């Protein structure tokens, strides 16, 4: 029953397009929410469990996207191989970067990761020869999974949802493993974790690399789905959005991150109706949620569902997610 929430979530994801056939909103917004879920769940491993902030996570999203874009368009690599190369690149980058920066704490760590993100974005804009510069790279071929070319909104919905469920499942299992427990110990008190024999530097590096891999994976899918990438999708604002998703959902909860990612994706779609007031409303909502619900939306929501559930049937509801 440990994964009951997961199965309920998977069922909901599979049922949605059947309940709303040919619904643009469900399929397209759903796919974009799915990518955000992968990103947020990955970042949550680092922020929520290991307790390390990253304000530059869009960089890894970008590494995955550009690896796929460049390798498939300029070198004709098969898309799965390019995806693997993107994962490798992001993993190595994160591993190399993790050691020196994860010694830093609090605002110094925020600064270092932020700087990393800005540098990566500048490179995407300036290395025109490879990245196409500010105009981006177009004409990325469709994802080809062993001969199956993923085309059309519904197929993409399926692929991204499958990837998302894989990410959520991995995350749920990871946090309950020995590595996950070590990470939580680091979050609680790094010193105490060390005393208990946890190699804290190793645990933090692992969390950083794994969350970078999640991001690069999402990036690769994103590049193929959009068939186009440009630096705007990987700038500081995106990094901030990712952090917001994790915190909005409530740190240190996989379904919290899922919830935060979906909420923020829907919010951004919903805000479009405010037109010129979009920014103003976005900022005000962000402040309000953080001030009045510092524990995040998910905690508040699950409590409400539990109360409702126990009032109705007098026992724990299965679909708490």
Partner 1 sequence: MPEQLFQFLVTGITIGSLYALVGLGFALIYNASDVVNFAQGEFVMLGAMTAIALLNAGLPLLVAAVIATLLTVGVGLLLERFAIEPAAGASVVTTIIITIGAAIFLRGVALLLWGKDFHSLKPFSGDAPIQIGGATVLPQSLWVLGVTVVLVALVRAFFNRTLLGKALLACAFNRTAAQAVGINVKVMLRLAYGLSAGLGALAGILIAPITFSSYEAGVMLGLKGFSAAIVGGIGNPMGAVAGGVLLGVLEALGAGLVSSGYKDAIAFLFVLMVLFFEPTGLFGHKASERV
CB 115 to partner 1: min, Å: 4
Cβ–Cβ under 8 Å, residues 38 and 104? no
Q: Which stretch binds partner 1 (CB under 8 A): 7-15, 66-74, 105-113, 171-179?
A: 105-113
User: Binding residue for partner 1 (CB under 8 A) from 33, 87, 112, 257?
Assistant: 112
CA angle 112, 167, 289 (to 5 degrees): 60
3-state secondary structure of 138: strand
User: Binding residue for partner 1 (CB under 8 A) from 3, 281, 305, 320?
Assistant: 281
Q: Which two tokens stand for residue 173?
A: 């299992």
Q: List phi, psi (to 5°) of 90.
A: -65, -40
For the chain, list the strands marked E by DSSP.
137-138, 144-145, 148-149, 228-229
User: Binding residue for partner 1 (CB under 8 A) from 240, 267, 305, 320?
Assistant: 240
User: Binding residue for partner 1 (CB under 8 A) from 177, 178, 189, 310?
Assistant: 189
How far apart CA 75 and CA 5 sit, in angstroms, is 42
Q: Which residue has the tokens 């794994």?
A: 210
Contact between 277 and partner 1 by CB under 8 A: the answer reads: yes
Q: Which residue has the tokens 């779609």?
A: 269
User: Binding residue for partner 1 (CB under 8 A) from 27, 83, 247, 258?
Assistant: 247
User: Binding residue for partner 1 (CB under 8 A) from 76, 106, 147, 197?
Assistant: 106
Q: List phi, psi (to 5°) of 137.
A: -120, 130
Contact between 290 and partner 1 by CB under 8 A: the answer reads: yes
Contact between 303 and partner 1 by CB under 8 A: the answer reads: no
CB 251 to partner 1: min, Å: 7
Count of residues touching partner 1 (by CB under 8 A): 47
CB 108 to partner 1: min, Å: 6
Between residues 43 and 321, which has the closer beta carbon with respect to partner 1?
A: 43
**Total count of residues recorded for the chain:** 321
Q: Which residue has the tokens 């060390």?
A: 194
Q: List phi, psi (to 5°) of 150.
A: -80, 115
- Which residues bind to partner 1, rule: CB under 8 A? 47, 53, 55, 100-101, 103-108, 110-112, 114-116, 118-119, 122-123, 125-126, 189, 191-192, 236, 240, 243-244, 247, 251, 276-287, 290-291, 294
């Amino acid at each position: 029953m440990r994964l009951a929430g997961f199965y309920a979530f998977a069922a909901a994801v599979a049922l949605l397009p059947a309940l709303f056939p040919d619904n643009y909103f469900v399929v397209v917004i759903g796919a974009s929410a799915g990518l955000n879920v992968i990103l947020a769940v990955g970042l949550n491993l680092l922020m929520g469990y290991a307790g390390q902030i990253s304000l530059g996570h869009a960089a890894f999203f970008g590494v995955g996207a550009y690896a796929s874009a460049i390798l498939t368009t300029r070198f004709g690599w098969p898309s799965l191989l390019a995806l693997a190369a993107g994962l490798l690149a992001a993993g190595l980058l994160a591993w190399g970067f993790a050691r020196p920066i994860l010694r830093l704490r609090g605002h110094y760590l925020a600064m270092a990761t932020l700087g990393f993100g800005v540098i990566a974005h500048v490179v995407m804009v300036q290395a025109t020869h490879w990245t196409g510069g500010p105009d981006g790279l177009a004409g990325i071929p469709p994802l080809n999974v062993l001969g199956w070319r993923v085309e059309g909104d519904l197929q993409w919905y399926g692929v991204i949802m499958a990837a998302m469920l894989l990410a959520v499942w991995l995350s749920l299992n990871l946090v309950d493993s020995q590595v996950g427990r070590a990470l939580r110990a680091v979050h609680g008190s790094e010193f105490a974790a060390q005393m208990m024999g946890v190699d804290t530097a190793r645990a933090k590096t692992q969390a950083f690399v794994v969350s970078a891999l999640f991001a690069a994976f999402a990036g690769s899918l994103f590049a193929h789905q959009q068939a186009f990438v440009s630096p705007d999708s990987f700038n500081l604002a995106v990094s901030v959005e990712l952090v917001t998703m994790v915190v909005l959902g409530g740190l240190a909860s996989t379904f919290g991150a899922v919830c935060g990612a979906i909420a923020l994706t829907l919010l951004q779609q919903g805000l479009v109706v405010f037109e010129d007031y979009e920014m103003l409303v976005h900022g005000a909502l962000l402040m309000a949620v953080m001030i009045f619900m510092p524990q995040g939306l998910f905690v508040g929501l699950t409590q409400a569902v539990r109360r409702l559930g126990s009032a109705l049937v007098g026992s724990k509801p299965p679909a708490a997610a």
